[in-house]
Structure 1
C-alpha cells in the first residue's frame, strides 16, 4: 500500500492516512479482505508514531471499513456493505457545510463547486465503486 503523506499539510497525518485508505477502497486499489500493513510496519514505512496508525485503524474499524484481529492484523472488511443511514447523512451534511463554506469564501462559483463534486463522484463510479 502506497500512501503519500504531506507532512507540511494543514490536514493531520492520521486524517490523510484514513482518507487515502477510504479512497483506495472506493477506487478498488484496496480490495475487500485485503490485509493492511501492521501498525508498526506502516508507522515505520511513513516515519510516524505508531499511535497515529492505531488511531487511524481504530477509527476505520468503528466506521466499518476494516476489521482487526489480534493475531492476523488489520484487513479491509471482507463483508463491507456500508449503507446510507440517517446518522451518515447528518455527518455528510455537516462535512459539506464546512467544505461548501470554504469553497464559497475562496470565490468558487456554485457551478465550479458542483463540477468538482460531479468529477470526483464520477471518478469513483468508473474506478470500481458500487
Structure 2
C-alpha cells in the first residue's frame, strides 16, 4: 500500500492518511480482511508521529472502515449499514455543496464532477 502525504497541505496529516486508506478501499487496492501496517511501521514508513497514525486508524474505526484487533492490528472491515452511511454522506455533502455555492460553482458543474469521480472509481474497481 502506497500512502502519499503532502506535508505542505493545510489538510491535517491524519485526515490525508485516512482519506488515502478510504481511496485504497474504493479502488480495490485494499480489500475486506486485509491488515493495515502497524501504527509504528506506518509511522516509520511515512516519517510521521505514531499518534497521527493512531488518530487516523481511530477515525477509520469510528467511521466503519476498519476494526482494531489486538492480535492482527487494524483490519479492513466495512460496516455495511447503508442507512447510516447515507446519512453521513448527506451531512458531508451538505457542507461541500454549501462551499460550492459560495464559490459560484453551478449545479451542472457539480453533477459533472460527481459523475466523473463515480465513473473513475467504478472503473478502478473493475480493473
> What TM-score does the superposition give when structure 2 sets the normalisation length?
0.88
- Please point out which of 114, 120, 123 is paired with 2:120: 123
- Rounded to whole Å, the distance in 2 between the matches of 1:12 and 1:54 is 13
Task: Tell me: CA distance 1:67–1:81, structure 2 relative to 1, closer, same or farther (3 Å).
Answer: closer
Q: Which has the higher contact order (CA 8 A, sep 6+)?
A: 1
- Counting matched residue pairs gives 126
Structure 2 residue runs without a partner (length 5+)? none
- The 5 A counterparts of 1:1-130 are 1-77=1-77, 80=78, 82-85=80-83, 87-128=84-125
- Rounded to whole Å, the distance in 1 between the matches of 2:92 and 2:104 is 19
Q: Deviations over 1:45-77 (max 9, x none)?
A: 111110111111112122221122212222212
Structure 1 stretches of at least 4 aligned residues deviating more than 6 Å after TM superposition:
none
Structure 1 residue runs without a partner (length 5+)? none
Q: Deviations over 1:14-68 (max 9, x none)?
A: 1111111111111101111112111011111111110111111112122221122
- Rounded to whole Å, the distance in 2 between the matches of 1:108 and 1:114 is 10
- Rounded to whole Å, the distance in 2 between the matches of 1:88 and 1:35 is 22
- Rounded to whole Å, the distance in 2 between the matches of 1:81 and 1:6 is 29
Task: Tell me: CA distance 1:81–1:128, structure 2 relative to 1, closer, same or farther (3 Å).
Answer: farther
Q: Deviations over 1:68-110 (max 9, x none)?
A: 2212222212xx352321x433322221121112222223221
- Residue 123 of structure 1: CA displacement? 1.7
- Rounded to whole Å, the distance in 2 between the matches of 1:31 and 1:68 is 15
> What TM-score does the superposition give when structure 1 sets the normalisation length?
0.86
- Rounded to whole Å, the distance in 1 between the matches of 2:44 and 2:60 is 20
